[in-house]
Structure 1
Amino acid sequence: MIDFKTYFELLNLYSDYAMVCDSSEWEKWPEFFVEEGTYRLQPRENFDQGLPLCLLALESKNMIRDRVYGVKETMYHDPYYQRHIVGTPRVVSVARDIYGERITSEANYTVIRTKFDGDSTVFNVGYYRDVIVRTPEGLKFQSRLCVYDSEMIANSIIYPI
């Protein structure tokens, strides 16, 4: 169990993350992770079967920074806006050890994509499965696993989910 102050920080972590992604402030995205933090996108079918294959697996904050560089400087794609709708996080477990508090939480998400010259459509739906730790700068992701429901993705995923 966590106290209200910690839960409020957790809510802020989720909402700040979504706002950074929705406002295209990509250079801020890696700062949500600890140095050894991981970010993965995995289809639900693989997750449910215990299969390790992910669409995207970034295994450190440096790899996450490299992804930002790719998004901003090297990837050519049809640009779009995205809007995250994130459910209230559910705390799955809290562990305390010599390294501090480790919160495992989940939240449903929907990402709406709007192309500059088109309609808004549901782009990606699933849930986050996160491990969060307290740092001197506040709560950060040790791991963020985005388990998405559909095997079919309308286009390659460029921006963070």
Structure 2
Amino acid sequence: MAATLNFEDWFGLTQLYADYAAAVDSGNWDLWPEFFVDDCAYRLQPRENHERGFPLATLSFTSKGMLKDRVYGIKETLFHDPYYQRHIVGVPVVRKVDGDRIESEANYAVVRTKLSEASTVFNVGRYIDVVARTPDGLKFASRQCIYDSEMIPNSIIYPI
């Protein structure tokens, strides 16, 4: 059974998920790290590895500084065919509330559109999150993006 939150915290959590999706879909990559606490974790991992407890992840960052470094790479050093992405995120399910921490999950699908091609489903899975209450509002302490398919495009440039 899911843990419960008061309405203000529930609204804040759902707004965090919606704002995150809007930010990473906007292409303004400088917004992305600001959704996280300084000492955060962000992982993109295949479902099979996650379920078997294997540590191998496609992307793994362990601080806000590493997220900012990824943003620099996206903007300045990575060369790729540009594309747009659109996140479709389900309503978060609250798994546990412990003081200023909320453990929650939500399904996601990311659709990718290259400039002269049809839109395609790019990545599908679920977020497993630890959200912290901070003086600046709710922030991700940990975000695991557990994707369902073992087959992914040869490069994932933008945040999921």
Unaligned segments of structure 1, at least 5 residues: none
Q: Percent identity?
A: 62
CA distance in 2, matches of 1:22, 1:140: 18
**Map of 2:146 onto structure 1:** 147
Counterpart mapping for 1:1-161 below 5 A: 1-96=4-99, 101-161=100-160
Secondary structure in 2 matching 1:72: helix
CA distance in 2, matches of 1:58, 1:128: 15
Secondary structure in 2 matching 1:150: coil
TM-score by length of 2: 0.97
Deviations 1:118-156 (A, max 9, x none): 000000000000000000100000000000000101231
CA distance in 1, matches of 2:67, 2:40: 9
RMSD over aligned CA atoms reads: 0.6
Secondary structure in 2 matching 1:57: strand
Unaligned segments of structure 2, at least 5 residues: none
2:157 counterpart letter in structure 1: I
Q: Count residues in correspondence.
A: 157
CA distance in 2, matches of 1:88, 1:119: 27
How far is 1:25 from its partner? 1.0
How far is 1:38 from its partner? 1.0
CA distance in 2, matches of 1:139, 1:155: 33
How far is 1:114 from its partner? 0.2
- Structure 1: which 4+ aligned runs deviate by more than 6 Å? none
Moved more, 151-160 or 111-120: 151-160
Secondary structure in 2 matching 1:52: coil
CA distance in 2, matches of 1:135, 1:107: 21
CA distance in 2, matches of 1:155, 1:78: 12
CA distance in 1, matches of 2:30, 2:45: 23
1:158 counterpart letter in structure 2: I
